[in-house]
């Protein structure tokens, strides 16, 4: 993890650097005597973790956190244990170390930070993957050992039929050995909605809605009571 140290006390900066040097996964890039200098640095560099002193004259550690739009993970370092409750109001703060800091306690804080940083990376990668699925316009389905490409926006209805699903498009219908649950996660959420335990529809293809059913192309599809509120939310009602 790339990290920086912000502390107005030279002794503290030196001690934290030494504690960091005993942890192979940490790479201390800079140490700053005040938060203002650190803000300039953060605008140009990617940092995973900050060791931040709370009690600094003029511009405190909390003032500093408030200025950051997307703060990295932060470990607070302080001589004052009374700020602990306030500290945990911030999601970016992973731990709170009271000076003088011992290596054992420091290592524990790093373990917490590593877990949080790796979660952030994992979430970011999952998000990227999700975008990939939803941004693509094609879905490949396995029919008789052939992978057949279906243009996602052309799908208007998917119906569960036992161990199969029937995918209806503007041009053709496909019967696929799969489940609604499996196909649902492959479809863009802004376009498709499950309106019944056996039906997923493309909301852009709706012709009209009457009571508890939707007319979509030539199909009349039931809407379950529990799914109706979500369907109504999706409609641009006058």
Residues that bind other proteins (CB under 8 A): 8-12, 14-15, 18-19, 55, 57, 79-80, 99-100, 102-103
DSSP code, position 220 = E
Choice between 63 and 129, CB closer to other proteins:
63
CB atoms within 10 A of CB 92: 15
Residue 115, by phi and psi: left (phi above 0), alpha (psi -120 to 50) or beta? Answer: alpha
Instruction: Name, in order, each residue with C-beta under 8 angstroms of 129's C-beta and a sequence gap of 6 or more.
Output: none
Choice between 104 and 146, CB closer to other proteins:
104
Q: Nearest-5° angle of CA 118, CA 124, CA 129?
A: 125
Instruction: Name, in order, each residue with C-beta under 8 angstroms of 215's C-beta and a sequence gap of 6 or more.
Output: 206, 207, 208, 209, 221
Choice between 11 and 142, CB closer to other proteins:
11
Minimum distance between the CB of residue 36 and other proteins, rounded to whole angstroms? 17
* 38: three-class secondary structure by DSSP: helix
Minimum distance between the CB of residue 114 and other proteins, rounded to whole angstroms? 22
Choice between 19 and 152, CB closer to other proteins:
19
Question: Which tokens sit at 11?
Answer: 């002794």
CB atoms within 10 A of CB 219: 16
Contact yes or no for 179/160 (Cβ under 8 A): yes
Minimum distance between the CB of residue 7 and other proteins, rounded to whole angstroms? 9
Minimum distance between the CB of residue 63 and other proteins, rounded to whole angstroms? 14
Minimum distance between the CB of residue 50 and other proteins, rounded to whole angstroms? 19
The backbone torsions φ and ψ at residue 114, rounded to the nearest 5 degrees and listed phi first, read -60, -40
**Which helix H or strand E contains 183, and what residues bound it?**
helix 180-184
Q: Are strands 49-53 and 73-78 parallel, antiparallel or unpaired?
A: parallel
Minimum distance between the CB of residue 122 and other proteins, rounded to whole angstroms? 34
């Amino acid at each position: 993890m790339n990290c920086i140290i912000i502390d107005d006390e030279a002794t503290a900066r030196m001690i934290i650097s030494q504690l960091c040097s005993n942890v192979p996964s940490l790479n201390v890039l800079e140490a700053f005597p005040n938060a203002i200098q650190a803000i300039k640095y953060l605008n140009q560099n990617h940092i995973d973790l900050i060791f931040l002193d709370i009690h600094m004259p003029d511009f405190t550690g909390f003032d500093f956190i408030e200025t950051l739009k997307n703060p990295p993970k932060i470990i607070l370092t302080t001589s004052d244990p009374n700020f602990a409750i306030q500290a945990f109001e911030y999601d970016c703060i992973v731990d709170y170390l009271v000076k003088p800091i011992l290596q054992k306690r420091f290592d524990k804080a790093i373990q917490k930070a590593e877990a949080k940083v790796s979660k952030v990376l994992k979430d970011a990668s999952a998000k990227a993957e999700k975008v990939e699925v939803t941004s693509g316009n094609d879905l490949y389905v396995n029919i008789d050992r052939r992978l057949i490409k279906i243009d996602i926006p052309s799908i208007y209805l998917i119906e569960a039929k036992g161990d199969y699903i029937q995918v209806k498009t503007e041009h053709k219908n496909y019967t696929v050995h799969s489940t609604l649950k499996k196909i649902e996660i492959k479809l863009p959420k802004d376009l498709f909605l499950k309106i019944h335990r056996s039906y997923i529809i493309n909301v852009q293809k709706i012709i009209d809605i009457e009571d508890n059913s939707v007319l979509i192309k030539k199909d009349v599809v039931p809407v379950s009571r529990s799914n109706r509120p979500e369907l109504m939310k999706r409609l641009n009602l006058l």
